[in-house]
Amino acid sequence: MSTISFDDLTQRLLSLDLIDLGKLRDVENSFGARPFTSEEFLQTLQRRGYLTKYQVERLVNGETTGYYYGEYRIQYLIGAGSFARVFRCVHKDTGQVVAVKVLRARFREDATAIKEFEREGELGMQMRHPNIAAIYESRSTKYDHYMVMEFIEGLTLKEELKAQKNGRISPLRATRITRDVCSALDYALRRGYQHRDMKPSNIILSSSGKAVLLDFGLITDDSSGFKTQRAIEYAALERSTHVPRDDKRSDLYFLGSVYYQLLTGIAPLGEIKERSKRLDAGRFKNVKPIREVAPYVPRCVAYVVDKAMKFHPEERYQSPALMLEALDGAAQALESGVDVEQEEKLMVAATQEKKEAQTSVMIVEANSELQNAFRNSFKNAGYRALVMSNAERALERLDDGQSMEVNVVLFNAQSLGPSAVDAFNKMLTIQATKNTPAILLLDENQVKWAAKAKRSKTRLAVGMPITMKRLLLVVDKLIKAQKQPAQKLEDAEKQTGATKSAKPIDPALVATSVDDFPTEAFADALESAYDRVVVRNPGEEDKKEPEPTPVREVPMDGTDVDAENDYYYDDEEEEKDAKNQS
């Protein structure tokens, strides 16, 4: 970066249409008369959210291409699979946020791979259903093949299960999720399409709560006769049960498997990576009925799961429509309490027995790099971390009775802006969160916002910068303050080494408006506000801060960073396996 002058850098930013002149001048003026380097200028652009880490890295490396796909400006990578990568992008004129799925460079000369990718886009554009991720357009250029897709913010079912303390979700919520996916399968099959890769990482829970089916990359249909690959489990199941390739009931078997895992937290087919073992017919024959594994599962739900996962295809649901009807019946029974009351008592008892002592922290942070830093630091300190990027959606999640229990909520106003203060205050109006401890992080220019923050001993406004070690101690203090009697709090602080947090604010200091707030007086009450801003793990205060790794975000097409464990099956492999068996 030192080889490029500031003038050359600004010209490059403008010519690449990465930022407008007004924002450039705004950042330049923020340095005042102090000299600065091009690297410092880029860091400030990134910190303010004008550029992303992905864009800055390419600029530093001298890259002059790779910032756009068509009219869509690339913000960052959100997922990578065997055949494609997915980027979060924004339309340069309208600001529309989308996911752009791009065929990997190594397949650009592979005619078969290109044909399959283009076919996925063409078929996907024909499907419009609330529980299927929409594909808006599919394009091929001299250099790239990509499709523009609906961007869905949320967690995959795989990530959602990890976020739950007991590793599972309630029967009613699991039933509604499975119903959403089954509705998508019914819609697709009525148009002759099958999914062929049903698994928790290919289903995302949107911020509105609905389940959306992702990644129709292995889609197949009756009319074209086009032979796509299929997930290896599909090939193993269909060979074991002696049915033709692409049996319509296979998707339902694996949807039943997802349903089973939502209800129990256990993958019924096991977590197996070896290809040869994944082809073993015994995996499908030896699945235990769900109530043998989890007796607390209501009978009305267990019936649907077990029927969907029958080994013999003729004993399963014969179409998504039939399974959808059964799921509707199970949902109605759960809502009315029929056949559920006793099982619910068993479930509560089982949950109490397995209740984890791990404390959960919700981190509301818009910056992707800080998300990753916060997540890793709290995880390494023994906390369960749930990261949200939007304050309003975080409140919706907290208000959801089915969500994981959260012990502390952290809002970073540096990236969220005024919405952090609004959400911090709104927690007091929500029954589920009015007693939940919370921390509001404010930078030096936002300290005056504390005048509008409704604070108490368990609701702190903390000035930045602050070290991660100090922040962890503050969180620890809040948790102990909630759990321990007030007279024991001082002893608890001495035992944990907790640092004294923000001093109580004198009522005389509370201004009638933000502009009138006496910043200097309030600054004295924020003892932790003047540490060097650095996010580190406990015990690493003297170590050099490593470069943050890209945050693992939800792939919009269901592709997984663990793509090396995903096996797909084609005709050539099937012939080889048949010869080996004979």
The mean pLDDT values, 10 residues at a time, for the chain of 582 residues are: 76 89 91 90 90 89 87 88 86 93 88 85 89 92 90 91 92 97 93 87 90 72 45 86 88 96 94 77 90 93 96 94 94 80 52 56 89 86 87 83 72 92 93 90 87 90 83 86 53 45 39 37 38 39 39 36 42 51 46
- Three-class SS of residue 553? coil
Helix axes 38-47, 53-60, angle to 10 degrees: 170
**What are φ and ψ of residue 92, in 5° steps?**
-65, -25
Instruction: Return the pLDDT at 564.
Output: 38
Give the strand order in the sheet containing 135-140. Answer: 68-69, 72-80, 84-91, 97-103, 145-150, 135-140
* Residue spans of beta strands (DSSP E) within 151-202: 154-156, 193-194
- Exposed/middle/buried for residue 458 (C-beta within 10 Å: 0-12, 13-18, 19+): middle
Instruction: Return the pLDDT at 209.
Output: 87
Instruction: Return the pLDDT at 290.
Output: 96
Instruction: Return the pLDDT at 168.
Output: 94
Among 473, 438, 459, smallest CA distance to 505 is for 459
- Whether a cis peptide bond, with omega within 30° of 0, leads into 200 is no
Alpha carbon distance 10, 60 (integer Å): 13
Instruction: Return the pLDDT at 513.
Output: 35
Name residue 114's amino acid. Answer: I
**All domains of the chain in start order, with CATH:** 6-60 (no CATH), 70-150 (3.30.200.20), 155-349+557-581 (1.10.510.10), 360-530 (3.40.50.2300)
Alpha carbon distance 503, 576 (integer Å): 72
pTM beyond 0.85: the answer is no
Is residue 472 a contact partner of residue 381, using CB atoms and an 8 Å limit?
Answer: yes
Alpha carbon distance 380, 265 (integer Å): 23
**What are φ and ψ of residue 331, in 5° steps?**
-65, -40
Please, what is the Cα angle at 48 between 45 and 49, to 5 degrees? 85
Give the strand order in the sheet containing 203-206. Answer: 154-156, 203-206, 211-213
Alpha carbon distance 244, 262 (integer Å): 29
Structure-derived torsion over alpha carbons of residues 475, 153, 47, 64, reported in degrees to the nearest 10: 150
Instruction: Return the pLDDT at 83.
Output: 80
Among 352, 188, 327, 333, smallest CA distance to 259 is for 327
Instruction: Return the pLDDT at 576.
Output: 56
Instruction: Return the pLDDT at 270.
Output: 84
Instruction: Return the pLDDT at 569.
Output: 42
Alpha carbon distance 392, 340 (integer Å): 33
Alpha carbon distance 200, 89 (integer Å): 25
